[in-house]
Amino acid sequence: MQRFTYEAAPMRVVFGDGTLAALGAEVERLGLRRAVLVVTPSQAARGAALAAQLGPLAAGVIPLAAMHTPVEVTEQALALLRAMGGDGLVAVGGGSAIGLSKALALRSGLKQIAVPTTYAGSEMTPILGQTEAGRKLALRSAAVLPQVVIYDVALTLGLPPALSATSGLNAMAHAVEALYAPDANPVTSLMAEEAIRALAAALPAVVAEPGDRAARAEALQGAWLAGACLGAVTVSLHHKLCHVLGGSFGLPHAETHAAVLPWAVQFNAPAAPAAMARIARALGQADAVEGLFALSRRLGAPASLAALGLAESDLDRAAEIATAAPYPNPRPVERAAIRALLGAALRGR
């Protein structure tokens, strides 16, 4: 008999096409009167338009969110939040906007509404990764979990095909690692398998036709379920490697997940046959590893870490950081084997 502990995240999820129209009602439902919008610099205009939509319920926009949540940016944003007299946070964007909102919630105790526009899944997790002095440290706290998540399919229609592909594979990675997590349980495994199925079915259609609303809806549902998996279980080697490559080598988040995923799964495959069978079934392929390589190729995702800026001379240090502290993984993690894995991912197939 399998023993497990499962904690469901208590947030409210509003899902649909055009659901952003409900933002004002959701802000009021949380009792907020001076909500502050948190976006990346490239989404500043969208933030301003939403502030206008909220009218007197909005206190301003903080368009400072950056990849990997640098602590200096959070401190600057916190000063702005206080100056604006904000009493709640509305993050609109990908994992970067949601990460800054989580960092602000941790420091201020304010409630959050997350409106994701990528497939990264941060909105569903009590995890916050912050970067300081070249190191990215992750924490888990209920204090960073948004109270409300609004998924609006319409907001994802403008996500460029390349980012849709890599962000979708980022989501897929959460679901894949959930299937061999040490604390996997029947609920997360069901969510994971359905996430992999939905993402594998929808992403090729999304990349071929970014305006395909049915495919976008299926991809976003897959991303939601994958994010819920990430929030509920302990992830392993794949996430550790991406965390190191992003935090210590500045590699871009979603692209790195896309380039590493098949290699990390190939490494773990001999030690996790039951998970591999479920991944293969969800992909509709005979083999999990080959299925992931094929999907990645079909989506035109980056095929090597070299293409993302990693150098051969970085491999020793990356392997050293990735194996410095122990963490759960189906196959034992040794420095030489991890260096070989990273070398293969650096060169690509």
Q: Which residues of the chain form contacts with ligand NAD (CB under 6 A)?
A: 40, 42-43, 67-69, 93-97, 99, 117-118, 120-122, 125, 127-129, 155-156, 158-159, 163, 167, 170, 230, 253-254
Which residue has the closest beta carbon to ligand NAD?
95
Q: Give min distance, CB of 56 to ligand NAD, in A.
A: 27
Taking the least distance from each CB to ligand NAD, the nearer of 128 and 232 is 128
Q: Is beta strand 127-132 parallel, antiparallel or unpaired with respect to 135-140?
A: antiparallel
Residue at 161: amino acid letter: P
Taking the least distance from each CB to ligand NAD, the nearer of 101 and 268 is 101
Taking the least distance from each CB to ligand NAD, the nearer of 125 and 221 is 125
Taking the least distance from each CB to ligand NAD, the nearer of 240 and 253 is 253
Cβ neighbours, 10 Å, residue 163: 17
Residues 253 and 241: their CA atoms lie apart, in Å, by: 11
Residue 149: helix, strand or coil by DSSP? strand
Read off the DSSP letter of residue 269: G
Residue 14 — φ and ψ, nearest 5°? -115, 115
Q: Give min distance, CB of 272 to ligand NAD, in A.
A: 22
Residue 140 — φ and ψ, nearest 5°? -120, 120
The structure tokens listed for 310 are 């990693």
The structure tokens listed for 83 are 């100056």
Tally of CA atoms within 13 A in the half-sphere of 266 that contains its CB: 18
Taking the least distance from each CB to ligand NAD, the nearer of 153 and 289 is 153
Taking the least distance from each CB to ligand NAD, the nearer of 251 and 276 is 251
Q: Give min distance, CB of 141 to ligand NAD, in A.
A: 11
Q: Give min distance, CB of 337 to ligand NAD, in A.
A: 25
Q: Give min distance, CB of 281 to ligand NAD, in A.
A: 25
Residue 234: helix, strand or coil by DSSP? coil
Burial of residue 119, with CB atoms counted within 10 A of its CB: 0-12 exposed, 13-18 middle, 19 or more buried: buried
User: Distances in Å between the alpha carbon of 111 and those of 87, 99, 114, 253?
Assistant: 8, 14, 10, 26
* 8 Å CB contact between 170 and 258: yes
Q: Give min distance, CB of 38 to ligand NAD, in A.
A: 11
Residue at 63: amino acid letter: P
Q: Give min distance, CB of 101 to ligand NAD, in A.
A: 11
Q: Give min distance, CB of 144 to ligand NAD, in A.
A: 8
Taking the least distance from each CB to ligand NAD, the nearer of 81 and 92 is 92
Q: Give min distance, CB of 170 to ligand NAD, in A.
A: 6
Residue 76 — φ and ψ, nearest 5°? -65, -45
304: closest CA among 313, 290, 293, 295? 293
Cβ neighbours, 10 Å, residue 298: 14
Taking the least distance from each CB to ligand NAD, the nearer of 57 and 237 is 237
